[in-house]
């Protein structure tokens, strides 16, 4: 069974540009979660999608947005990139919101 896949693995952008990160959940998982892990920091919750709808979002500005497609894959968009957005962005999926998450390998975003 394929795990959670994320692309690209690495992404380098210039300040002010937009970044798009993609995630495919485990087959059968309808919930997708996005987390930001800045260097030396813990995991900060960004967004939760389930059945194509945004169910909850963390304390991030509106320039962080995303969507979930009918096949349950998801993308995270970050507009007007700032240097502080440099981080590892992790996507996870689960069978239910109360069950354990399976994380992807992440996208390392570097803003220069």
Partner 1 sequence: GQQVMQIPQYQHVQEGEDFTTYCNSSTTLSNIQWYKQRPGGHPVFLIQLVKSGEVKKQKRLTFQFGEAKKNSSLHITATQTTDVGTYFCAGPGGGTSYGKLTFGQGTILTVHP
Examine residue 55 and tell whether it contacts partner 1 (CB under 8 A).
Answer: yes
104 Cβ contact partners less than 8 Å away, ≥ 6 residues apart: 3, 4, 5, 6, 23, 90, 91, 92
Q: 86 vs 102, which CB is nearer to partner 1? A: 102
Residues in region 59-88 near partner 1 by CB under 8 A:
none
50 pairs with which residues across the strands?
31, 53
CA distances from 105 to 4, 59, 79 (A): 8, 23, 22
- Shortest Å, Cβ 15 to partner 1: 26
Binding segment for partner 1 among 20-28, 31-39, 65-73, 74-82 (CB under 8 A)?
A: 31-39
Cβ(111)–Cβ(98) below 8 Å = no
Examine residue 7 and tell whether it contacts partner 1 (CB under 8 A).
Answer: no
> Where does this chain bind partner 1 (CB under 8 A)?
31, 33, 35, 41-43, 45, 48, 50, 55-56, 58, 90, 92, 97-106
């Amino acid at each position: 069974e394929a795990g959670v896949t994320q692309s690209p693995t690495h992404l380098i952008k210039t300040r002010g540009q937009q970044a798009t990160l993609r995630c495919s959940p485990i087959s059968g998982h309808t919930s997708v979660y996005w987390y930001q892990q800045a260097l030396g920091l813990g995991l900060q919750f960004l967004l939760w999608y389930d059945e194509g709808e945004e169910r909850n979002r963390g304390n991030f500005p509106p320039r962080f947005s995303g969507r979930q497609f009918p096949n349950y894959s998801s993308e995270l968009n970050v507009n007007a990139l700032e240097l502080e957005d440099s981080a590892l962005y992790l996507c996870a999926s689960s069978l239910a919101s109360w069950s354990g998450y399976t994380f992807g390998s992440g996208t390392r975003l570097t803003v220069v």
